[in-house]
Amino acid sequence: MEKLDRYDRILLRTLQANGRASNVELSEQVNLSPPQCYRRVQRLEKDGIIRGYAAQVEPAAIGLGVVAFVNLNIAREQFKQVRKLEKAIRLFPEILECYTISGDFDYLLKVAASDLKSLSAFLTDRLMQVPGVAGVRSMVCLEEIKPSSPLPLAD
């Protein structure tokens, strides 16, 4: 992977702010020709620096009124099967994000549900039934202060 130059960083900043920017808009921001700009964006995509493009949807507008952060522990004897557990986690659409973490818990999940009852049912009837899950502890989000943000890019 090549080192990012000033033009790449401007492209990334622009695309993080507006993933629908046209190639012409991008080229104006970066002061490069549209073909040069297009090649750079394609390289950034090919190199995996740009992972994809997506619309940011307001959860409450589609009936997802509850967001919770869930700490998950796996049973120590299941560490040999950890990849199976991770595969199962990836299949749940309710789980928006999942991270392996250090400290008292093994994973941190961000989960969306329509209401508290649905969240409870998901945790009890589905997530805790996955082989290897030893326990979960949830924290319900009261208010979103700062939604997903662009990554900071050095100049």
Instruction: Convert the pLDDT of each residue in 17-75 to its tens digit.
Output: 999 999 999 999 999 999 999 999 999 999 999 999 998 899 999 999 999 999 999 99
Q: Same structural domain for residues 11 and 70? A: no
Residues 65 and 59: beta-carbon distance below 8 Å: yes
* Number of domains the chain is built from: 2
CA-nearest of 141, 143, 144 to 68 is 141
Pairing type for strands 66-74 and 107-113 reads antiparallel
Looking at residue 1, what is its pLDDT? 56
With pLDDT > 70 as the criterion, what percentage of the chain qualifies? Answer: 99
User: Residue-wise over 118-132: b if at least 16 C-beta within 10 A, else e?
Assistant: bbeebbeeebeebeb
Looking at residue 147, what is its pLDDT? 86
Enumerate residues 6+ apart whose C-beta is below 8 A from 83. Answer: none
Residues 140 and 116: beta-carbon distance below 8 Å: yes
Domain that holds residue 14: 6-46
CA atoms of 152 and 79, how far apart (whole Å):
35
Report yes or no on whether pTM surpasses 0.75.
Answer: yes
Q: Same structural domain for residues 65 and 104? A: yes
The answer to the question of residue 154 being in a domain is no
User: Predicted confidence band at 79 (pLDDT cuts at 50, 70, 90)?
Assistant: confident
Looking at residue 78, what is its pLDDT? 76
- 77, pLDDT greater than 90: no
